[in-house]
Structure 1
Amino acid sequence: MNTRDAFALTRAAGATLTEQLASQFAERIRQRLLAPGARLPSVRDCARRHGVSAHTVVAAYDQLLAQGLVEARRQRGFFVRESQRAPASGPHVAPAAVAAEVPVRVAPVDATALIRGMFHGVSHLPAPGLGTLPPDWLDLPMLASALRRVLSHGDATLALQYGQPAGDVRLREALATKLADFGVRARSSQIVTATGATHALDIVSRALLSPGDAVLVDEPGWAVEYARLTQLGMRLLPVPRTADGPDLAVMATLAREHRPRMYVTVSVLHNPTGHSISLGDAHQVLKLAEAHDFFIVEDDTYAHLAPAHLPRLAALDGLQRTLYVSGFSKILTPSWRVGYVAAPPSLVERLIDVKLLSTLTTPAVLEQAVAHCLEQGSLRRHAERVTARLDAARHRSVQLAQAHGCRFVTPPQGLFGWVDTGVDTESLAQTLLDEGWLLAPGHLFHATRRPSTVMRINFATSQDARFWQAFGRGRHPSS
């Protein structure tokens, strides 16, 4: 089987091998599938990978240099050129281990490379680096039925007008009932809807933060959140993530030294490690937040894939200084951009104002369709089916990963596995992209760029033996 159609060179083409190779790299750079700062394969590796001479590769890299797409660094190789460097007064990142050190600048570009790879559809193959469930795992009849129900039995004029500022009342009431399952007590008046959980996080950040504010974040953590906060001008304070939650000693030091305004965390089925916070650590985090007067933003995006009994900070805190964010892209469909934030009553109007300025309102038809799925129990039944299927996929993916020499850094749980491959995963990701496989290398999940042998895999899309065969070839290219 030949899967190299994603990056194939042919001597029968109208362009020379040099031109083809340069064109392929140029296209990936322009699409940001290769992010600024990424290192191109060495001349030897690239020549071996594509079956061409070293002279052909050098000539192709020279063309990229001439186009201003890459830069040569003496005795280090070729790197994708930074298209726009951060200004001298730009945002900073404080190293977690030594809180008092001078912060280091960071350019939030890697997250968009992964996202663009998802949207471009690198190939027809499953994407082990994807952050969502495969389409064939989703319940299209359930979605279609919910939409028909809303449009035929509800108020059809919903599709012809703006939604309500805080979000559809029916959905907010259904969400208040759902949140009680997790122990989060919120009235419908405390809930503001958004166009997905990411938008909800953005609303919270814009409402509560100002440029230059310090924000505590988990590390490893979600690359998109690092990038989003940095672009808003915040100073990131990475806190190492342990099996029980954030490293409390580091968090206490950072809080004392930098006076953070907020802590953003995925407390349950953490992305990428799969860890969930322990009850004891959750209490300690809340005590630190009270002592140092910062908000906690709890991103519970994977709530539908997790046991309801796991501790939620918002439940323990009673939504006093905690804001609870979630959505439905991980369980219903990524295309229904329905998310929400449950907040302390004193913050609700401020959140609504920011929402109105960013999107005016949110689509009432989709919000009522989600409400229907919640009210009828169809979402709960679908989540139970998905969770059972995910358990089986996780078991198979773990077996395949271990059979190919990988070690799980953390116990496999939830949607993602945090896997040590033993090789540089940024380079490995480029190699496998040539064969049509999209990876999520470990450096994406750190606030500052660093080499990593770890990658995040999606258990639902990593159970294909063909991927692990390609992984084996990429990991041991000379074998």
Structure 2
Amino acid sequence: MTTAQPTPTGAAATLSEQLAAQLAQRITQRQLPPGARLASVRECPRQQRVSPSTVVAAYDLLQARGLVQARPQRGYFVREAAGAPAPRTAAPAAPPRPAPVDATALIRSMFQAQGGLRAPGMGTLPEAWLDAPMLQRALRRVCGEPEAWLRYGEPAGDITLREALSQRLQALGITAGTGQIVTTSGATHALDLVSRTLLQPGDAVLVDEPGWAVEYARLTHLGMRLLPVPRGHSPDGGPDLAVMEALIREHRPRLYVTVSVLHNPTGASLTPAAAHQLLRLAEAHGLTLVEDDTYAWLAPAHATRLAQLDGLQRTVYISGFSKILVPQWRVGFVAAAPALAERLIDTKLLASLGTPGPLERAVGLCLAQGSLRRHAERVGALLDAARTRTVKLAREHGFSFAAPPAGLFGWVDVGHDTEALAQTLLDAGWLTAPGALFHTTRRRSTLMRVNFATAQDARFWRQLRAAVRAAAR
């Protein structure tokens, strides 16, 4: 931003106009979500190599466009979108329902990363690790069987896939017949079906914190009250059971939605002892546990699942294939007790009439023939090597991990507000996932989620260290 660029009208844009245009683009693309704080009038000149007066003029232009607002003694913040609905007022006896951090910022970042940005905060595997020929072979075979996809599929989902899933779950120690398995359009759809079947607006739901911003937003939009349970501080990898029990006694929640294996973002997994204690607590208070096992194919075979211990009596088990196959193959499933499975089918039919049978059958073939298992083993070896390299780089540059590194994600403590750092890193071409994205309400966090597979570049860690040092000054 050292030279003025021509505007569409032919006039040369001033430096303040260029800076305002750059920030406006980030706001409209949700790289700067509503509520995000802009760099201060002292920080921004160092980042952009312009004068403080240029920054003040740019921020004034953004205010004039209604994109940001100034808050005395606090700085400049991105405004909420015009016309956004006001939050509903909670019942007098209930705690206020927190507004989650804008989850679409996280979702949109996945698409922006596909446009060329380097993305250490990405939520998926690198494209080079995926096995397109395996999927092409399965699809060709399915397309050669037109009778399988010229009509509506089975309400519960493709039988080929459900039979293969029953065998897969048996290998994990979870007994579930085909009648207990309902296919969905990805794990997120599965979570949605369970919520719509078991909950009513206003119900309280326990959730992990930190946790998945999309799940926070989804439950809030359904009208649920989120009760965050601290996760990641316990040495057994589980939730804080004392906090959970206090919340249960006070608010009588219906569900607890949790990731028991390779938790996102900390990477922690429940120990058998912690899982047993959690099940005892659920039994004592009539709580249903929704176990999201999205990263099942990246986990050790011996990992403890809640559904394994209680036989799907009080647990609903959810998983999918987008994290191990390709993100666009939105194939997931729910395994539940027989009576609940029937209710889930009814909800599924009312919501979507069905799920994409050809994709389900293709996944079922990959699963039944062993090609998916072999692919997962190859990815696991690549991920182990990537994790070793990324952890080494992080520690060499002075950063620590808030939880033992495991699975796809690392929960890194950088010692400075990562939401502020995210904008500096974006200027340098790095898309990150700051800790604020993983809390039910916006808060300052020195933590950052990194994807071990996409954070192996030493240049990123050098840039991060430089950004932290500059911010400290």
Q: With structure 2 as the length reference, what TM-score do the two structures score?
A: 0.94
In the aligned structure 2, how far is the partner of 1:31 from the partner of 1:445?
Answer: 20
**Residue in 2 that maps onto 1:130:** 122
**Residue in 2 that maps onto 1:312:** 305
Within-5 A mapping of 1:385-400: 385-400=378-393
**Is 2:246 aligned against 1:246?**
no
**Residue in 2 that maps onto 1:232:** 222
Aligned counterpart for 2:34 among listed residues 33, 36, 42: 36
In the aligned structure 2, how far is the partner of 1:26 from the partner of 1:90?
Answer: 34
Aligned counterpart for 1:26 among listed residues 15, 24, 27: 24
Shift of 1:44: 2.1
8 A Cα contact 2:101 2:440, kept in partner: no
**Residue in 1 that maps onto 2:343:** 350
8 A Cα contact 2:101 2:441, kept in partner: no
Shift of 1:180: 0.7
SS at match of 1:32: coil
**Is 2:53 aligned against 1:63?**
no
**Residue in 2 that maps onto 1:183:** 173
In the aligned structure 1, how far is the partner of 2:174 from the partner of 2:126?
Answer: 30
Shift of 1:423: 0.8
The RMSD of aligned alpha carbons is 1.8
Amino acid at match of 1:135: E
**Is 2:367 aligned against 1:374?**
yes
Q: 1:287 to 1:78 in 2, by over 3 A?
A: same
**Residue in 1 that maps onto 2:10:** none
In the aligned structure 2, how far is the partner of 1:434 from the partner of 1:158?
Answer: 50
In the aligned structure 1, how far is the partner of 2:114 from the partner of 2:342?
Answer: 42
**Residue in 2 that maps onto 1:87:** 87
Identity of aligned residues (%): 67
Moved more, 281-290 or 322-331: 281-290
Shift of 1:123: 5.1
**Residue in 2 that maps onto 1:164:** 154
Moved more, 48-57 or 207-216: 48-57
8 A Cα contact 2:180 2:336, kept in partner: yes
Shift of 1:90: 4.9
Within-5 A mapping of 1:145-160: 145-152=137-144, 155-160=145-150
Amino acid at match of 1:215: V
Shift of 1:107: 2.1
Aligned counterpart for 1:121 among listed residues 113, 120, 126: 113
SS at match of 2:155: coil
8 A Cα contact 1:220 1:272, kept in partner: yes
Shift of 1:55: 1.5
In the aligned structure 1, how far is the partner of 2:296 from the partner of 2:87?
Answer: 38
Q: Deviations over 1:248-299 (max 9, x none)?
A: 1111111111111000000001111111111111111111111111211000
Q: 1:123 to 1:51 in 2, by over 3 A?
A: farther
Amino acid at match of 1:87: P
8 A Cα contact 2:157 2:355, kept in partner: yes
SS at match of 2:281: helix
Shift of 1:88: 4.5
In the aligned structure 2, how far is the partner of 1:136 from the partner of 1:167?
Answer: 30
SS at match of 1:309: coil
Shift of 1:58: 1.0
- Count of residue pairs brought into register by the alignment: 462
Aligned counterpart for 2:51 among listed residues 48, 53, 57: 53
In the aligned structure 2, how far is the partner of 1:109 from the partner of 1:122?
Answer: 23
Shift of 1:352: 1.2
8 A Cα contact 1:324 1:341, kept in partner: yes
SS at match of 1:71: strand
Shift of 1:121: 3.0
Aligned counterpart for 1:277 among listed residues 270, 287, 297: 270
In the aligned structure 1, how far is the partner of 2:401 from the partner of 2:419?
Answer: 18
8 A Cα contact 2:100 2:439, kept in partner: no
**Residue in 2 that maps onto 1:5:** none
In the aligned structure 2, how far is the partner of 1:452 from the partner of 1:475?
Answer: 13
Q: 1:12 to 1:87 in 2, by over 3 A?
A: closer
Amino acid at match of 1:369: A
SS at match of 1:246: coil
Amino acid at match of 1:386: V
Q: Deviations over 1:63-98 (max 9, x none)?
A: 111111111000110001122364341599xxxxxx
SS at match of 1:393: helix
Amino acid at match of 2:50: V
Shift of 1:313: 0.5
In the aligned structure 2, how far is the partner of 1:364 from the partner of 1:212?
Answer: 35
Q: 1:243 to 1:163 in 2, by over 3 A?
A: farther
8 A Cα contact 1:91 1:105, kept in partner: no
Moved more, 27-36 or 406-415: 27-36
8 A Cα contact 2:101 2:437, kept in partner: no
Shift of 1:222: 1.1
Amino acid at match of 1:133: L
Shift of 1:11: 2.1
In the aligned structure 1, how far is the partner of 2:306 from the partner of 2:268?
Answer: 15
**Residue in 2 that maps onto 1:361:** 354
8 A Cα contact 2:101 2:442, kept in partner: no
Shift of 1:176: 0.5
SS at match of 1:199: helix
Aligned counterpart for 1:210 among listed residues 200, 213, 236: 200
Moved more, 182-191 or 243-252: 243-252
Structure 1 unaligned blocks of 5 or more: 1-7, 93-99
8 A Cα contact 2:70 2:77, kept in partner: yes
In the aligned structure 1, how far is the partner of 2:151 from the partner of 2:112?
Answer: 32
8 A Cα contact 1:85 1:107, kept in partner: no
